[in-house]
Chain A
């Protein structure tokens, strides 16, 4: 069965070609940073063009399996790629100052961002458990290195170490789940697994069910669902500020993209079992994420725990099964943009390569940098799920799916947690606007320098959050053709 359609992997190929080009040009020409910028931009443009071509192919009734059934070209895969491309462009802009500051090692950093994006894009297109594993590792290993890429920072090293050990642990759990699923069904391809489970009455499903549970646990680590979230706060706090937003958003989008294929296609037959499992994880994530976020004194750790809660909201929607996929991608896309926007503001405050970001640094930010403060405030409000922002629409869809799926208790838990979450989101807003900044003897009103790349990210993030919060129609329409 030779069925290679290069189009179904074209965006990833463009990004990897871009990564190779960056490295090779660096070896031979030792160019200034802007040359890397042009090559990266060209790679993103080519990847974007490939995604457009994929949409056209899909619109013409094309698509389907390729590469021996390892990859699928379906609307979900194409839409996930589009979301990840936006995240990658924003993430690269946000990280640019940090990357340029790496000097001779800049090419490494740039190519790692490109390769990580390609890996997570592949996760959304993979329909074979082995392929999902490889895609996951392509993305994750690149992120481990990015977390520790600033060598002078002990916090970065520590973040890289923790991320690496727990990430490798999670990957091993995930692929053991794949191995057990293979042992039970004789297939690693999700469509073959689906066919096997539909065609045969499985006498002893225990091995398959354990395998499925381990697949979910492994992916749960990657999307920072509780109780598998312990690495996230440390990594977000210690990694260089510029890449954290990209790191957090890309891993979450990739993880959920793969989880949707695994559960909705491969194990659709066992939906009764995994719905209940996801509901428990979702409730734990929402409650633990919210409660732990309240006590934080570091903005990045607070955002990490809020990310745990958001993973919980996404899982809340997923309990409903395939019908929830509509809202899932809207939530993932808009939350990613908020997250990158929030971390762009964090980058402005703590410096491009800095670690840590205590609440005190944000006192009086409203006067020091009106743009950063306004966007950070907007993203906080959107994350809390206030109406007229994309956060509200995303959350509403998740709750609606879960309610229709019969998980009313989960919706009630989610609503209660959302109310509690106002406290820590608004605490930051209050700090920025109503508390004078006179810590450490520095001038409280000294304007904060805002690099132009970060300003773009902030403005884009704010625009998406507001415009699609008020008129969600176009984006919803685009992402729910999935």
Chain B
């Protein structure tokens, strides 16, 4: 029974790792700011899944508490991130980061 529980948490953590890598790949490979931002959210959700799975494996409430904090931070990031994307879109009529090339040297 205990062995089964550990295996279960491991599976969830593996899934979370895969989600995290998908998010990372999305952020590095896509060029639409909204999609990149969604990828970051996916990474944060992978973090949440890891926390919950580990909390379950350890029988500890701390991981579940951490998830709440990560959710709050993610919400704050959404507020600021979308505002920045909208602000850029108003000036340039595009959300592609390839067009953000004013700064370089």
Contact = CB atoms under 8 A, between A and B. Distances in A.
Given A169-B43, A176-B46, A297-B105, A141 B100 contact: no
Given A130-B65, A182-B51, A182-B63, A155 B44 contact: no
A157 B91 contact: yes
B23 A172 contact: yes
B104 A176 contact: no
Given A158-B100, A161-B100, A186-B60, A176 B84 contact: no
Interface in A157-197: 157-162, 164-165, 168-169, 171-173, 175-176, 178-180, 182-183, 186-188
A179 B69 contact: no
Interface residues of B, number: 46
Nearest to B53: A183
A347 B16 CA distance: 45
Contacts of B63: 179, 182, 188
By DSSP majority rule, is chain A's interface helix, strand, loop, or mixed? helix
Contacts, number: 127
Interface in B41-100: 43-44, 46-47, 50-51, 53-55, 57-58, 60, 62-63, 65-66, 69-70, 73, 76-77, 80-81, 83-85, 87-88, 91-92, 97, 100
B91 A148 contact: no
**Chain B CB within 10 Å, residue with most, of A145, A178, A182, A298:** A182
A234 interface: yes
Contacts of A145: 80, 83-84
Given A130-B65, A134-B73, A179-B66, A301 B105 contact: yes
Interface residues of A, number: 44
B84 A161 contact: yes
A182 B33 contact: no
B103 interface: yes
Given A148-B87, A238-B102, 7 more contacts: A144-B81, A155-B103, A160-B87, A182-B62, A183-B13, A186-B60, A297-B105
30 contacts: A130-B65, A130-B66, A137-B76, A141-B76, A144-B81, A145-B80, A148-B87, A154-B102, A158-B103, A159-B103, A162-B100, A164-B80, A164-B81, A165-B36, A169-B43, A171-B77, A172-B20, A172-B40, A176-B50, A178-B47, A179-B66, A180-B50, A182-B50, A182-B62, A183-B13, A186-B60, A188-B62, A233-B105, A238-B102, A296-B105
